[in-house]
């Protein structure tokens, strides 16, 4: 890949990586709270939406309510609170268009690395675009590209896969032309994707669908429509109704999570009682829906309107809880000897977590190795200037955290302007570095997809502001009210060069966002 030849490097105040749920939201916050700052969004794919454009498997939907997964500034007005993927994708695109964000996006720009120079307080971002390397400079870099690898899902291998005469698919790469009508389908997995696929495939015409899980997951069924939200929308302006519903749901989820940690036995009994009522007294709840861990040690799977349970009750779906021995010519052989016959096997085995959106970082020539750094407020890294990371909650809706992160980034940008500084760097004192106990960046979950990759992530400490709390109510206070200059975040200004032309004088700063061609790429390129 060659560096694109150009006499200048374009400079923006802010570069946002990713045009998905987080990136579009961050851009909207910037336009509202930092109206005099210019920015560009670099998106590796050719469309807005991120996850909600990438995933195309049957039944793709939210696994939390849209009043908290939606943006704080844009009401979710659909009657269904647990929404399907296309509806969410429309919502994200509407948000971009209503706020004039699309013209700031450069599609087909896959960011690969970024280099910080303290001499001029500048990130130089390098992206691959149509086989060439494009450089764009900025003062503030916001990484909003999600939390998993788009190209490499978690995919175990089993003996005998080559012997299987049917079709093997992973939900992350669902073939558009896959015909599962009147076919027997085996779905390997017990997470949100598997529990979404099973009822969707049965409703879509599959002959029978069996969910094959090594161990069970807690399942909670809720109505897809929030009656209170829909009632409030009839009597109040949309923004008022949305704000009330959002706060109601935040408090409900927070209360449920805290109760689970305080009294796990009580919550376990409640969850299993609901499953037993849905599936009847003769179903083996103990084997198939009673995990070995406590509620919220791993994420609880949300299903709408009992759809998974209804598919099981109708005989269109079933569950097998046992380890897979191998693939056979016509299905799966379990360790106990049973053979599950299948025409299609769906490997819904999860995601591969990815930190820093897969972007390689250097600060003043030194490579940033995330495990060597400490998490500051869950959104910056020790000793890494002007970098804000968006990583949502694992125990609540992603967007709750992404909204707060964007609000904090805007406060930080404005505080730098107010104080005449250009650089903000979290600094950990040597005393704290020695005394503080290191913890995993996410330490509240035992889920496999978390544990598999935590060694690639930064560490968190045992005290504020070095905690990554996963606590919306606590983070809300930090994002909105905690002083930016807290004695830990160091604000500074690069020294003026003693001689020669400063680098920023060689950077081309556009006065307006570049025009874009109809296919979404910059018309200038």
Residues 105 and 195 in one domain: no
Residues 129 and 54 in one domain: yes
Whether the CB-CB separation of 307 and 301 falls below 8 Å is answered with no
Residues 7 and 144 in one domain: yes
How far is it, in rounded angstroms, from Cα 130 to Cα 390? 27
Instruction: State residue 391's pLDDT score.
Output: 93
> Comparing C-alpha atoms, which of 3, 235, 220, 15 is closest to residue 105?
15
- DSSP label at 359? -
Q: What region does 280 belong to: left with phi over 0, alpha with psi -120 to 50, or beta?
A: left
* Among 298, 321, 347, residue at a domain's last position: 347
Whether the CB-CB separation of 37 and 104 falls below 8 Å is answered with no
In a domain, residue 76? The reply is yes
**pTM, two decimal places:** 0.92
In a domain, residue 445? The reply is yes
Strands 39-43 and 9-17: parallel
Residues 225 and 83 in one domain: no
* Among 325, 347, 369, residue at a domain's last position: 347
> Comparing C-alpha atoms, which of 120, 52, 123, 141 is closest to residue 91?
52
Strands 331-334 and 339-341: antiparallel
In a domain, residue 396? The reply is yes
Question: CATH number of the domain that 472 lies in?
Answer: 3.50.50.60
Where do the H-state alpha helices sit in 336-456? 398-419, 430-435, 448-451
Cβ-defined contacts of 464-469 (< 8 Å, 24+): 465/376, 465/377, 465/426, 466/374, 466/375, 466/376, 466/382, 466/428, 466/432, 466/436, 467/375, 467/378, 468/375, 468/378, 468/441, 468/442, 469/378
Whether the CB-CB separation of 370 and 457 falls below 8 Å is answered with yes
* Among 347, 375, 394, residue at a domain's last position: 347
In a domain, residue 178? The reply is yes
> Comparing C-alpha atoms, which of 362, 420, 373 is closest to residue 118?
362
**Could you tell me the CA-to-CA distances from 488 to 388, 424, 432, 465, 471 in Å, in that order?**
15, 10, 11, 8, 21
| 3-class state of residue 65 by DSSP | coil
Count of the separate structural domains present in the chain: 2
Residues 324 and 380 in one domain: no
Residues 112 and 51 in one domain: yes
* Cβ atoms within 10 Å of 93's Cβ, excluding its own: 18
Residues 249 and 263 in one domain: yes
In a domain, residue 331? The reply is yes
Residues 314 and 276 in one domain: yes
Residues 144 and 198 in one domain: no
Residues 318 and 333 in one domain: yes
In a domain, residue 495? The reply is no
Whether the CB-CB separation of 342 and 161 falls below 8 Å is answered with no
Instruction: State residue 4's pLDDT score.
Output: 57
Residues 343 and 361 in one domain: no
In a domain, residue 84? The reply is yes
Burial class (CB in 10 A: 0-12, 13-18, 19+), 328: middle
How far is it, in rounded angstroms, from Cα 43 to Cα 522? 12
Residues 134 and 184 in one domain: no
Strands 366-367 and 360-363: antiparallel
- Which residues form the domain of 228? 161-347
In a domain, residue 488? The reply is no
- DSSP label at 151? S
**pLDDT, one tens digit for every residue, the chain (525 residues):** 555 545 578 999 999 999 999 999 999 999 999 999 999 999 999 999 999 999 999 999 998 999 999 999 999 999 999 999 999 999 999 999 999 999 999 999 999 999 999 999 999 999 999 999 999 999 999 999 988 888 888 889 999 999 999 999 999 999 999 999 999 999 999 999 999 999 999 999 999 999 999 999 999 999 999 999 999 999 999 999 999 999 999 999 999 999 999 999 999 999 999 999 999 999 999 999 999 999 999 989 999 999 999 999 999 999 999 999 999 999 999 999 999 999 999 999 988 888 999 999 999 999 999 999 999 999 999 999 999 999 999 899 999 999 999 999 999 999 999 999 999 999 998 888 889 999 998 888 877 778 888 889 999 999 999 999 999 999 999 888 899 999 999 999 987 654 444 444 334 444 444 333 333 333 333
**Which residues touch 9 (CB under 8 Å, ≥6 apart)?**
124, 135, 136, 137, 506, 507, 508
Task: State the DSSP string of 75-107.
Answer: ---SSBSS-BHHHHHHHHHHHHHHTT-GGGEEE
Strands 122-129 and 132-143: antiparallel
**Which residues touch 82 (CB under 8 Å, ≥6 apart)?**
61, 62, 64, 65, 66, 222, 224, 302, 304
**Could you tell me the CA-to-CA distances from 29 to 9, 306, 453 in Å, in that order?**
26, 37, 31
| 3-class state of residue 21 by DSSP | helix
């Amino acid at each position: 890949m060659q560096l694109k030849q150009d006499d200048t490097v374009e400079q923006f105040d802010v570069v946002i990586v990713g045009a998905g749920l987080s990136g579009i939201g961050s851009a909207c916050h910037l336009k509202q709270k930092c109206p005099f700052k210019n920015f560009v969004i670099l998106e590796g794919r050719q469309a807005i939406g991120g996850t909600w454009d990438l995933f195309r498997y049957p039944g793709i939907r939210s696994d939390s309510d849209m009043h908290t997964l939606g943006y704080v500034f844009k009401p979710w007005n659909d009657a269904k609170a647990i929404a399907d993927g296309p509806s969410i994708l429309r919502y994200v695109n509407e948000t971009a268009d209503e706020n004039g964000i699309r013209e700031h996006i450069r599609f087909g720009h896959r960011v690969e690395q970024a280099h910080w120079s303290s001499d001029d307080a500048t990130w130089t971002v390098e992206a691959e675009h149509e086989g060439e390397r494009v450089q764009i400079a900025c003062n503030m870099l916001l990484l909003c590209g999600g939390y998993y690898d788009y190209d490499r899902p978690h995919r175990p291998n089993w003996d005998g896969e080559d012997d299987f005469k049917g079709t093997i698919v992973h939900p992350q790469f669902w073939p558009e032309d896959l015909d599962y009508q009147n076919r027997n389908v085996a779905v390997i997995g017990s997470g949100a994707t598997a529990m979404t696929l099973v009822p969707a495939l049965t409703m879509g015409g599959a002959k029978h669908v069996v969910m094959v899980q090594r161990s069970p997951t807690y399942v909670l069924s809720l109505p897809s429509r929030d009656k209170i939200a829909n009632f409030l929308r009839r009597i109040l302006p949309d923004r008022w109704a949305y704000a009330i519903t959002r706060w109601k749901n935040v408090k409900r989820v927070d209360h449920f999570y805290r109760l689970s940690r305080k009294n796990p036995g009580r919550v376990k009994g409640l969850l299993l009682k609901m499953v037993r009522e849905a599936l009847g007294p003769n179903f083996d709840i103990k084997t198939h829906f009673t995990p070995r861990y406590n509620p919220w040690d791993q994420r609880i799977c949300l299903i709408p309107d009992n759809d998974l349970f209804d598919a099981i009750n109708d005989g269109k779906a079933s569950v097998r809880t046992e380890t897979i021995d191998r693939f056979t010519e016509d299905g799966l052989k379990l360790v106990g000897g049973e053979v599950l016959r299948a025409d299609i096997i769906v490997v819904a085995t999860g995601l591969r977590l990815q930190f820093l959106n897969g972007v390689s970082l250097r600060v003043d020539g030194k490579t940033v190795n995330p495990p060597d750094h400490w998490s500051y407020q869950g959104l910056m890294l020790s000793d890494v200037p002007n970098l804000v990371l968006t990583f949502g909650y694992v125990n609540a809706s992603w967007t709750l955290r992404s909204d707060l992160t964007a609000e904090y980034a805007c406060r930080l940008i404005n505080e730098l302007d107010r104080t005449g500084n250009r650089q903000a760097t979290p600094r950990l004192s040597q005393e704290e570095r020695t005394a503080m106990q290191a913890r995993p960046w996410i330490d509240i979950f035992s889920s496999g997809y978390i544990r598999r990759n935590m060694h690639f992530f930064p560490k968190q400490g045992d005290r504020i502001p070095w905690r990554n709390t996963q606590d919306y109510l606590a983070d809300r206070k930090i994002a909105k009210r905690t002083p930016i200059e807290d004695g830990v975040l160091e604000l500074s200004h690069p020294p003026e060069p003693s001689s020669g032309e400063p680098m920023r004088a060689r950077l081309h700063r556009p006065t307006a966002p570049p025009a874009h061609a109809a296919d979404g790429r910059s018309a200038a390129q």
